[in-house]
Amino acid sequence: MDAFEAALRETLDKTEAKGLLRTLRVVEEDKNIRVFSTNNYLGLATDEKMKEAAAQAIQLYGTGSGGSRLTTGNFTLHEQLEKRIASFKRKEDAIVFSSGYLANLGIISALMREGDAIFSDALNHASIIDGCRMSKAQTFIYQHANMQDLEEKLQRAVHSKKKLIVTDGIFSMDGTIAPLPEIVELAERYGAWVMVDDAHATGVLGKTGAGTAEHFGLSDRVQLTMGTLSKAIGAEGGYVAAAASVTNYLRNYARSFIFQTSLSPGVVAAAMKGIELIQSEPERRQTLQENATYMRSGLQQCGFTLIEGNTPIIAVIIGDAKQAVHFSRLLEEEGIFAPAIRPPTVAEGSSRIRVTVMATHTISEIKKALASFEKIRKEIGIIG
């Protein structure tokens, strides 16, 4: 082992000693495991209509786009998808990126420049944090969903040129919904724009599944709605819906849009079909909500400590990182896959099992999962 490798080893050993080493696990091929942690909330990623749409596009256009949007990779399909997203999100226009992660990097770093101020919730997704780091704007991190803290930070930045408040719609590790009405009010009072990351809320919240802004009736007062095509929509890619002036700007300045090969045709066609199914089959969303309520109340009855909420993301707090990993392993032995989420993804002492339900889970599957949770809790004595 040379010095370079030894340095890597040393860091990994320290991480392992703290019980924080990450390992990869293949679950989709294991027929004995039922997954209770996917973001494929509506089950669309394996839906026959989705597969057909993707297969047809591959037959017509091939497997890869072969270039960036600004060179040879701009197909009618990409433009159709952007129009579909814009109308779904009730915005003038939309722009698609290769992932939600790259969307956040590109949007935030392009829009927010020196002399500007960003106000970011402490629990925002890593891609927002990285977008803020890449931008030259001053970033204020406000305490999670704490409107008093947000207002104090807005007051401290009154002289900034442009101001942007950015928040997850549904927080990915807690399953709580951002207090958007209060955020929008503060934004209007202090002359800021609002950007919502609706990765987990799209297809889940709102009358038509359009997300957090629709849920609160605030679509007109949120300037930027970004999201991913990879969760409830069942495909892959990221996007932002906004005024045409914003999307035109981003086509010129968002580096992760300009310098990346565009999404492959199969993925684009699947994403379009996913949005269509979200709009035309609201019963999937209804079942998802019922399953979430059933699972949540079952876990509460078993005596677990949950982060309060009513979304399909259910954070079962274990506390200690090693114990959370142990709990997750025992769940797997029971045929339930729900991984432990540990620091640095969540705060020290708040390690948890992140349970998510899907519209395609049956009540008997949920009952079985609940029985396993209860059995393990009794075995290892976690009260929560």
Just list the catalytic residues. 172, 200, 231
Binding stretches for ligand PMP (CB under 6 A): 99-101, 104, 125, 127, 168, 172, 197, 199-200, 228, 230, 238
Q: How far apart are CA 84 and CA 341, in angstroms?
A: 34
Nearer to ligand PMP, 128 or 382 (CB): 128
Query: Least distance (Å) from ligand PMP to the CB of residue 141?
Result: 16
Burial of 5 (0-12, 13-18, 19+ CB in 10 A): exposed
Show Cβ contacts of residue 294 under 8 Å, excluding neighbours closer than 6 positions: 357, 363, 366
Nearer to ligand PMP, 245 or 310 (CB): 310
Query: Any idea of the CA torsion for 11, 12, 13, 14, to the nearest 10 degrees?
Result: 50
Instruction: Tell me which residue has its CB nearest to ligand PMP.
Output: 100
* Phi, psi dihedrals of residue 238, rounded to the nearest 5°: -130, 170
The answer to whether 323 and 382 have CB atoms below 8 angstroms apart is yes
Query: Least distance (Å) from ligand PMP to the CB of residue 5?
Result: 30
Q: How far apart are CA 316 and CA 296, in angstroms?
A: 9
Using alpha carbons, select from 39, 52, 26, 32 the residue that is nearest to residue 359: 39
Query: Least distance (Å) from ligand PMP to the CB of residue 336?
Result: 21
Query: Least distance (Å) from ligand PMP to the CB of residue 125?
Result: 4
Residue whose tokens read 């914003």: 246
Nearer to ligand PMP, 38 or 289 (CB): 38
Show Cβ contacts of residue 69 under 8 Å, excluding neighbours closer than 6 positions: 78, 251, 257, 258, 262
Nearer to ligand PMP, 58 or 129 (CB): 129
- The H or E element spanning position 64 is none
Query: Any idea of the CA torsion for 337, 342, 347, 353, to the nearest 10 degrees?
Result: 20
Nearer to ligand PMP, 172 or 219 (CB): 172
* CA distance between the termini of the chain: 43
CA angle 130, 224, 197 (to 5 degrees): 50
Query: Least distance (Å) from ligand PMP to the CB of residue 133?
Result: 15
Query: Least distance (Å) from ligand PMP to the CB of residue 56?
Result: 23
Q: How far apart are CA 120 and CA 183, in angstroms?
A: 11
Using alpha carbons, select from 39, 14, 57, 151 the residue that is nearest to residue 100: 39
Q: Is the dihedral of CA 116, 142, 212, 84 positive or negative?
A: positive
Nearer to ligand PMP, 172 or 350 (CB): 172
Query: Least distance (Å) from ligand PMP to the CB of residue 362?
Result: 26
Nearer to ligand PMP, 125 or 163 (CB): 125
Query: Least distance (Å) from ligand PMP to the CB of residue 351?
Result: 18
Nearer to ligand PMP, 196 or 269 (CB): 196
Using alpha carbons, select from 212, 246, 206 the residue that is nearest to residue 103: 246
**344 upstream amide cis, omega within 30 of 0:** yes
